[in-house]
Amino acid sequence: MSKAKQKAEADEFIATVTRALKRAAKEARRVARMHGTKVWVVKDGKIVGLEP
């Protein structure tokens, strides 16, 4: 397999994973809003609860 083809496949994989993570984050915010809970994330090395 050529390096150009490997790079193209890797780029496609990264794009697919990025879309899936964004979709999952959006769903997590939707569920948190529905239940009135916070969304917990790591910011500057600390765990913080954000309002959705």
pLDDT at residue 1 is higher than 80: no
Report pLDDT for 28: 94
The DSSP-derived string for 21-50 is: HHHHHHHHHHHHHHHT-PEEEEETTEEEEE
Q: Which amino acid is at 33?
A: R
Distance CA 37, CA 51 (A): 7
Total number of domains constituting the chain: 1
Provide the pLDDT for residue 50. Answer: 93
Write the pLDDT tens digit of every residue in 14-44: 999 999 999 999 999 999 999 999 999 999 9
Q: Which domain holds residue 30?
A: 3-50
Tokens coding 18: 């990025």
